Amino acid sequence: MIDARTDVAPRSRRILVARDPRLSTCDALVQGLEPLIEDVELVEAYSVEAARSWAKGGPFDLCLVCLDLPPAPRGGARLAKELMRRGQQVVLITRSLRWLPAEDLELRSLPWIVPEADPTSVLVFLKKEAAPVASPSRTRAKTLPPMTERERPAANET
């Protein structure tokens, strides 16, 4: 049965995360966002088509686009450009910009973070006039486990 309640208030902030669900590289980043930000609607899109569909439904405060989104890296790059043209704020998730064509200055000008980034690093990209972030006591209660050696970026990836 579908919940058709109309008394539910819309979320204050909307964040779109477009990523490949088969890879765990963005898991800690995504899982850390929800407890960090009050009243967030965190939408995960696992394909370019799904992200397009969500974007048609209304604006997002922030769009995080992983370059691993299939077909990598063209899928994520194409989606990032489309979202930019819609006036969305886009941040790439990647370990390096080497996957982007050197002549594509529009994409290369986007901010980017590594998949292993601390979720708090995303806060600087959110619009200032949106709802407040969670209180410090709330964020301390939900800490992420330390990265394992396998999850740490290689020396040449930092």
Structure tokens at 127: 């619009």
Q: What is the model's pTM?
A: 0.75
Number of domain units in the chain: 1
In a domain, 40, yes or no: yes
- Tens of pLDDT along 93-123? 999 999 898 899 999 999 999 999 999 999 9
In a domain, 133, yes or no: no
The DSSP output letter for 49 is H
Is-contact 65 83, C-beta < 8 A? yes
pLDDT in tens, the chain (158 residues): 444 444 445 568 999 999 999 999 999 999 999 899 988 999 999 999 999 999 999 999 999 999 999 999 999 999 999 999 999 999 999 999 998 988 999 999 999 999 999 999 999 998 654 444 443 333 333 333 444 444 444 444 44
Q: Which domain holds residue 18?
A: 13-121
In a domain, 129, yes or no: no
CATH number assigned to the domain comprising residue 45: 3.40.50.2300
What pLDDT score does 38 carry? 87
In a domain, 135, yes or no: no
- β-sheet bridge partners, residue 91: 64
